[in-house]
Amino acid sequence: MGKRLLLLGGGHAHMVTLANIHKLQSQGHQVTVVQPDEYHYYSGMGPGMLSKIYAPEEIRFATRRTVEKQGAGFVRAKATAILPQKKRVRLDNGQDLEYDVLSCNVGSAVPAVKGQGKSLCFPVKPIASLLQVQKKTLQLLSQGQVRLGVIGGGPAALEVAGNLQRLVQDAGGKKAQVTLFAGRKFLANLKEPIRKLARKNFVRRGIEIVEPGYVGQLGPDTIELENGENYESDLTLLAVGVMPSPLFVDSGLRTGPDGGLLVNEYLQHPDYPEIFGGGDCIFFKNQPLDKVGVYAVRQNPILYHNLQASLNRNELKSFHPGGDYLLIYNLGDGTGIFSKGSLTFGGRPAFWIKDWIDRRFMKRFQVMD
């Protein structure tokens, strides 16, 4: 007999499942996808959208169209609670949806900074908000001198600051200063050769790096460090890491220490075997994983297999995170930094490789009219 599969979020770990909805439907199952937006934005190309290297249409998946084209249901809403005993999910539109099998790929969010509400501040997630940052920056630039602050010392802050600089440069932007507030140390968790290449690039392009110094709070147009230093900022971007969606803690489900949905080697919740998950929103019990899209992408085939197996009472497969992963950073000026194992290099070829990989990924899962 057919069962109900409910997918929360059409994120990076659900790509293969979304592409194969028609197969699940043809087996008699009924699939429903819940997401607050009709599109899902590919984070790997997000900073490039900020700088206008990519148009929004090039970096987003038309989730609603993908789902409806295959005869399944799409609900534009946000899940606010999972009621595991009742096998129901509550949505912010007041609706309750029932499921036999549930899969969660609801991602993560940037934790707030004190005083954020008082200033013009945008977290770097959801990725779609980078479009608002682009529009607001161009608007401010048209009015005069602009100070742009990026708070964060990791790869997301690096890419966002580099692409913000590209945006103002292309807009004839001598009037803008991009400043990166890197906390303890710029790219503290990355290897020295990466840090050196990134620093050299930023110095050459006039992007200021403030370190060490944690941001204490934001004022209406200031960034205040814990050490008492004050910087002016007309628009601030927050890239201070991410935390899994609060959905699981709010629902009283067992989570990892970071609040991510606890899952075993089958990407399955240990208490409720009909609940699965992938991407930034899970805590993988066997080995805590970095919050990078690479793992979400690697989880795809296993998650799809296990959802199908769970619907059809077949055997589940284990997820193995795999070894070292390739990372390429888009610096926004047509160059990138490539890093895999002991190999690190910068320049145009690094960006070309990233661009090729990212476009190929988009092409694989993008559904056109």
Ligand X SMILES: Cc1cc2nc3c(=O)[nH]c(=O)nc-3n(C[C@H](O)[C@H](O)[C@H](O)COP(=O)(O)OP(=O)(O)OC[C@H]3O[C@@H](n4cnc5c(N)ncnc54)[C@H](O)[C@@H]3O)c2cc1C
Is residue 258 close enough to count as binding ligand X by CB under 6 A? no
3-state SS assignment for residue 105: coil
Is residue 339 close enough to count as binding ligand X by CB under 6 A? no
Binding mask 117-146 for ligand X (x = CB under 6 A): -------xxx--------------------
Minimum CB separation from ligand X for residue 61, in Å? 9
Of 243, 266, 274, nearest to 256 by C-alpha is 243
**C-beta closer to ligand X: residue 81 or 221:** 81
Q: Which residues contact 174 (CB under 8 A, 6 or more apart)?
A: none
**C-beta closer to ligand X: residue 27 or 345:** 345
Show the tokens assigned to 107. Answer: 């991602």
Q: DSSP character for 206? A: T
Minimum CB separation from ligand X for residue 367, in Å? 15
Is residue 112 close enough to count as binding ligand X by CB under 6 A? no
Show the tokens assigned to 221. Answer: 């147009």
**C-beta closer to ligand X: residue 81 or 138:** 81
> CA 17, CA 9: separation in Å to the nearest integer?
12
> CA 351, CA 353: separation in Å to the nearest integer?
5
Could you say which residues in the range 7-66 bind ligand X, by CB under 6 A? 8-13, 34-37, 40, 43-44, 46-47
Could you say which residues in the range 267-306 bind ligand X, by CB under 6 A? 279-281, 291-294, 296
Of 125, 103, 108, 76, nearest to 238 by C-alpha is 125
Among 6, 148, 156, 316, binds ligand X (CB under 6 A): 156
> CA 249, CA 268: separation in Å to the nearest integer?
16
Is residue 350 close enough to count as binding ligand X by CB under 6 A? no
Q: How far is CA 135 from CA 59, 260, 295, 334, in A?
A: 17, 33, 31, 21
Binding site for ligand X (CB under 6 A): 8-13, 34-37, 40, 43-44, 46-47, 78-79, 105-108, 124-126, 156, 159-160, 245, 247, 279-281, 291-294, 296
